[in-house]
Amino acid sequence: MTAAIGDIVAITTGVKYVVLGFSGNPIGGTDARLIRPDGNGRFTGFTKDASGLIVVQSPSFETGERVSVD
């Protein structure tokens, strides 16, 4: 299954993140921007090759619905 914006995904370490968006990379692939709470009231995030993501959950959202990462 391919990840989409808003999906909860796991990376190879098993840590879960939320997909914020996608962008192209220099080698012609797609990178995903990922974010997760760090436990100190802040967020940590990074960019990872989208093909290496494991979709854990795909929540559904309505257009204009307020969404939070937690």
C-alpha 44, offset from chain centre: 11
Kindly report the average pLDDT of the chain as a whole number.
Answer: 88
Asked whether residue 32 is assigned to any structural domain, the reply reads yes
pLDDT recorded at residue 41: 85
pLDDT recorded at residue 1: 62
Asked whether residue 50 is assigned to any structural domain, the reply reads yes
The one-letter amino acid code at 30 reads T
C-alpha 33, offset from chain centre: 6
Asked whether residue 66 is assigned to any structural domain, the reply reads no
Q: How many domains does the chain have?
A: 1
Asked whether residue 68 is assigned to any structural domain, the reply reads no
**CB of 55 within 8 A of CB of 16?**
no
pLDDT recorded at residue 69: 67
Q: How confident is the model at residue 60 (pLDDT cuts 50, 70, 90)?
A: confident
How far is it, in rounded angstroms, from Cα 44 to Cα 35? Answer: 6
Domain containing residue 34: 8-57
Asked whether residue 65 is assigned to any structural domain, the reply reads no
Asked whether residue 3 is assigned to any structural domain, the reply reads no
Asked whether residue 69 is assigned to any structural domain, the reply reads no
